[in-house]
Amino acid sequence: MKKILIISLALIILLAACETTQTQTKANDIDKKDEVSDAIKYYDFGKEYLKNKQYDSAIKNFTNSINDSAGFIDAYTGLGRSYEGKFDYTRAESVYTSAKDKFPKSTAGYNGLGGMYLKMKQYEDAEKAFLSALAIDSMDSKSYYGLGQVYDKKKPTNKELSAIKCYEKSCRFDPEDLAAAYAYSKALMKAERYKEALDLLKKVSDDHPTFVEPLANLAEAYLETKQYQEAINTYNKVNALDSTITNTYLGIARAYQGMKKYDMAEQNFKKLISLMPSSTIPYLYMGQMYLDINNYTKAIDNLNLALAKNPNDENALLLIAQSYFLKVDPNKVNDDNYDAALKTLETSESYFSKLITLNKYVKEANTGLDNIKKRKKEIDPTRW
């Protein structure tokens, strides 16, 4: 009986020990979870403060996050960006350098430095930082995006790279990065590769339908790829968001011109005139439009309005000189209209001569003067 009692006590002690061990293990687990959750909690608070430009509060929370979990690299990035927000670039640089040294296999520290140097317009240092990041990870989309921004400002050290190539790689390695997609689309637009820019601009505009700039670029891409109705529809969306953007009416007018709806084009050019009363641009476009469709009288009328705004506008002078020249059809000149035709050519000659005096479009003007001499011979070979 005594033996049984001893065994029972031993079992109770053993079970109690197991229970104590299990309790301690669970407590340790909870402590670890609390540590991680506190780090994340502080980080999330820091992000919100950073987003709202409350930099001191952001710094406090990112610092707490790092103190709770020294391996939380995103907290270092947030802390560096918070110091940047305060223009405290010395401390920001120190944070990014610490991240670079503490996490040698991560691109975050170098990308942080690159972004900071980019803001400071230290493009050489920015390039070195982003290239160092790519030496760690050759598929890092943020590094390519940063390099693209650098190469928008300076020539690449590596001839195989360019802004447009960097943006392309950034989008390839992170197709969901809309900032990179938009940067790539703008680079393509600048290179006049409008078809390639279209899909990227659609993606950005679909995600941010109230952002005017990408929508306006999308409309321009439609216009340049001769998708005129799509261009008009998109320009109308831009107009609904901001009716003061002058290029909207210019784009709509050019789209109607492409569709050969010249009256509608003129209506929108005139809307542009109401927004830009002192500008020659709408008159130049109308002058060019009517010149293209051989309506020389209307072309001259609009170009005269441009010259009334600026008598030395070289584009207006060239276009009006060409209009007067082309107005004289040698096959339709006879004794009744010979003097009028000659006067028209002399008017054209005066505008070409003025361009030479202004040292503008000199090559084109000299060609125009030579053509006038030839046309005079065409309309009366016996006199010229």
pLDDT tens readout for residues 224-239 = 999 999 999 999 999 9
What does the pLDDT average to over 51-65?
A: 94
CATH code for the domain in which residue 203 is found: 1.25.40.10
Question: Which own/partner contact pairs does 28-36 have at CB distance under 8 Å and 24+ positions apart?
Answer: 35/68, 35/69, 36/68, 36/69
pLDDT band at 39 (very low <50, low <70, confident <90, very high): confident
pLDDT band at 87 (very low <50, low <70, confident <90, very high): very high
Cα 352 to Cα 29: distance, rounded to the nearest angstrom: 88
Determine the residue type at 28. N
**251 domain residue, yes or no:** yes
Cα 191 to Cα 240: distance, rounded to the nearest angstrom: 29
**319 domain residue, yes or no:** no
**352 domain residue, yes or no:** no
**Residue range of the domain that includes 273:** 175-277
What does the pLDDT average to over 30-35?
A: 42
Q: What is the CA radius of gyration of the chain?
A: 35
Looking at residue 383, what is its pLDDT?
A: 58
**202 domain residue, yes or no:** yes
Looking at residue 23, what is its pLDDT?
A: 34
**193 domain residue, yes or no:** yes
Q: In the predicted model, is pLDDT for residue 249 greater than 70?
A: yes
Looking at residue 283, what is its pLDDT?
A: 97
Q: In the predicted model, is pLDDT for residue 183 greater than 70?
A: yes
Q: Which of 118, 107, 182 is nearest to 150 (CA)?
A: 118
**249 domain residue, yes or no:** yes
pTM of the complete model beyond 0.85: no
Looking at residue 2, what is its pLDDT?
A: 39
**382 domain residue, yes or no:** no
**Cβ contacts of 42 within 8 Å, gap of 6 or more:** 61, 62, 64, 65, 68, 75
Cα 43 to Cα 118: distance, rounded to the nearest angstrom: 25
Q: Which of 78, 75, 79, 90 is nearest to 120 (CA)?
A: 90
Cβ burial 328-338 (10 Å sphere, 16+ → b, else e): beeeebeeeee
Q: Which of 39, 45, 29 is nearest to 64 (CA)?
A: 39
Q: In the predicted model, is pLDDT for residue 188 greater than 60?
A: yes
**71 domain residue, yes or no:** no
Domain count, the chain: 1
What does the pLDDT average to over 148-177?
A: 92
Cα 90 to Cα 6: distance, rounded to the nearest angstrom: 71
